[in-house]
Every structure is written in structure tokens, then in C-alpha cells.
Structure 1
Amino acid sequence: MKKYRAVVAGCSAGGMQAVATLLAQLGTSFRLPLIIVQHLHREQGEYLFRFYSSSTHLKVQEASEREKILPGNVYVAPPDYHLLIEHDETFSLSVEEKVNFCRPSIDVLFESAADVYGPALAGVVLTGANSDGALGLKRIKDCGGLTLVQRPETAQFPEMPRSALLCVHADQVLTIEEIGRFLMTLKPEAAY
């Protein structure tokens, strides 16, 4: 059976409720790191962490520079920084140019995570109003990782899931609740 080392997820418009719903499906036995890029304004950051923390028993925190990625934690990209994963499984933050008009960019996270984790990575694209995440999900698929997309008809803003599905033949196309339950079935590598 295939084993995993991390899950990355991305969303934009409509994402707060979508991520909260996803987190509510993850029990304390969820042993993979979940790393999220959500397009948001700087002033939304503090509220977002409180909101997400109230949705799950998992530890939710803002990712920080050189922080070691730990199993069973939920990390959210800080506003206005690209979030990357380094080969030593730590975070790197960047203020380089926006990608897809966004910083943080879902594609930037997904592509760096695919390069580090390869087939041991699962990527999730949720609701959003642009195409960010589509190329990153393709990179995950090309590296042998698992690709999941929210069913567009269930998304508050279906453009992001639709764009992902135009770019990638996703392994699973599910509702948010189904994605959460599916993630609970993923087996972590022995080190986790």
C-alpha cells in the first residue's frame, strides 16, 4: 500500500468555510502534515487561525521560515508570502513576484512540495475564483503523487476546481467532506 509524507491544499474565494469543513473531517489520528495556501488579505490572518483552530483538534499554525514540518500539524501560509518546502522538510518564505496574481501562490507550494515529496505527496484543490493550483497539481501528478479536486458543482466558486480538472486527470473528484474522509485513510510513512 502506498504511503504518504504530506498533504498540500489550496483554495481562494470561499475557502474559509471549505477549509473549516475539511478540517472538521480530520480526527486526532490524522498523522500527516497538512499545508494550506489560501488567498487572503493580511488583516484576515489572525482571525483565520482562530477560526480554523475552532474547527479541529489538530494544531493549526502559521508556517514560519526554516520551521520543521511535523506530522499531525496544520500549517497555513502567511499572507503576502509564497510558501515553499525545502529538501530538509522545512519551510521557506519568499516575497518574489506574484504568481497567477497571487502571493502566496498555490502553484508555488504545490510545485516545491512535489519536488521534495514526489509520490509520497497528496494535493488538494478546493473552491476558488482563479486558476492558481492547476499547474501545481499537474506537477504533483507528474511526480507520481495523489491528486484530489473538489467537485466543481459543490464549490462556492467553481473556477479553481474546474481549471485543475482541465489541466489534470485527478485521482479523486469529491465533495469537501468526502475529501476529508479520504485523507483519513491515507497511510503515513513509518517515520510518522
Structure 2
Amino acid sequence: MHGTSSRLIVIGGSWGGIQASMKILRALPADYPFPVVLVLHRLRNYEGNLQELYEKKLALKAVEIDDKAPLEAGHLYIAPANYHVLLEKDHTFSLDDSELENYSRPSIDVTFTSAADVFGKNTVGILLSGASKDGSSGLKHIFDKRGTAIVQHPGEAEIAIMPLAAINSTPGCRIMNIEGIQAYLLTLHEH
């Protein structure tokens, strides 16, 4: 099916999340068969262009998410600053500038929860290093919908607060280091 995907990879992170996600995503080929959505907390006054940063280093096509844009395989979709990112039933994005959640906008929980509502068991949620608890309730929602819940090993994370919060809220999650997450995403590619 053109333009739609059977599976969705959603990655969330905060402090240390840029470095961790970059290492993971560098392993993925340009023809990766699934879209990847990345929600990173960034400082509100952060002017740097994350899309350019990823575009230079990845085979995936890195784009900042636009409202109503359709999901496509082989793309890395980066949450824009100051917007929550939601997934719609027709596999398009909607951007929302409502209240902060967990002191964050974009909130990882918002994206993880809406991804699980649309993709159910075909959602792969990956939570990386970070200094807040954002993402843990969303990851639990992915797990409860029978999706795959992966947490970066807290011992490897630059800041372990976010991974530890997720492990506490979702005891059944898979705890992996960066190499393990890379390998897992590449095996999905082969099925």
C-alpha cells in the first residue's frame, strides 16, 4: 500500500535523547519499510534545526512534521517545537498547541498514546534518556494495546530518570541498550 504503513516506530527522549536517537537511527537504511516518529524535548528557546542535524547523518529522510502530512516509510518525522503531535486514523499527523503535559510540549505521552490508539499492536515505542517522567504513561498505553515497549537501559542513558519511570510503570517493557535497539529495528526490517 502506497503511503500507508502497517507498523509505526515512535521514539521519545529528552536530556541525552538526541545523541541516543542519532546512534539508533544511523543503523537504518534509506529504504526502511516503516515511518519513524521522533519526539524530543527541546528547550523552548532552542533555535537549532534538529531536522538538519539528523538529515546530515541519516539515510532516512528527516522532515519536521507538518499538520495533516501523511506517514511514509523511510521517513524520520521530527516533532516541531511547541506542538503536541498526534496520529490520526487516516495515518496523517495533527499538530496541537494545547496545554503542556508533564511540563512539555511536545509531550511524548501524547504522541505515544495516539500512536497506540491508531496502530495498536503494530506500534513500537522506544523511550530514551531523559530527566522527566514524560513518556512512561504513553509507553504503558502502547504496551496495554499489545504494542512493543522498549526502554533504553538506564545504566547507559545519559540521565536515567525517564527510563526508570517507564520501567516502573510498565514492568513488562523490554530494556535494551542502543545496540540492542538498533538490532531489533533492523530485524523488523527483514520480516
Can you list the C-alpha shifts for 1:19-69, whole angstroms capped at 9, x where unaligned? 111111212342110001000135546432121112211100101100001
2:27 to 21, 25, 28: 25
Indicate the residue corresponding to 1:82 in structure 2.
Answer: 84
Alpha-carbon shift at residue 72 of structure 1 (Å): 1.3
> 2:167: which partner in 1?
165
The answer on whether the counterparts of 2:31 and 2:60 sit within 8 Å (CA) in structure 1 is no
- Label 1:187 to 1:21 Cα distance change in 2 as closer, same or farther (>3 A): closer
- After TM superposition, list the pairs within 5 Å mapping 1:89-108 onto structure 2: 89-108=91-110
Could you tell me how far apart the structure 2 residues matched to 1:188 and 1:85 are? 25
Which blocks of at least 5 consecutive residues in structure 2 are unaligned? none
Mapping of residues 53-64 of structure 1, within 5 Å: 53-64=55-66
Q: Give CA deviations for 1:118-162 in whole Å, capped at 9, x if unaligned.
A: 001100000000100000000001101011100000000110000
TM-score normalised by the chain length of structure 2: 0.92
Higher relative contact order (CA 8 A, sep 6+): 1
| Matched residue type, 2:15 | A
2:88 aligned with 1:71:
no
Distance in 1 between residues matched to 2:151 and 2:47, nearest whole Å: 24
> For structure 1, which segment, 47-56 or 115-124, has the greater mean C-alpha deviation from structure 2 after superposition?
47-56
Of 110, 113, 118 in structure 1, the residue corresponding to residue 112 of structure 2 is: 110
Give the match's secondary structure for 1:13: coil
Cα separation, 1, equivalents of 2:190 and 2:92: 18
Q: Which residue of structure 1 aligns with residue 52 of structure 2?
A: 50
After superposition, residues 131-142 of structure 1 pair within 5 angstroms as: 131-142=133-144
Distance 1:162 1:169 in 2: 10
Q: Conserved in 2, the CA contact under 8 Å of 1:149 and 1:174?
A: yes
Distance 1:98 1:188, change over 3 A: farther
Distance of 2:177 and 2:124 partners within structure 1: 16
**Aligned residues with identical type, % of pairs:** 39
Q: Which residue of 1 aligns with 2:18?
A: 16
* Alignment check: 8 A CA contact 2:10 2:37 kept: yes
SS, match of residue 54 in structure 1: helix
Give unpaired runs (5+ residues) of structure 1: none
Tell me which of 107, 121, 124 is aligned to 1:122: 124
Question: Measured at CA, do residues 184 and 44 of structure 1 come closer, stay the same or move farther in structure 2, by a change above 3 Å?
Answer: farther
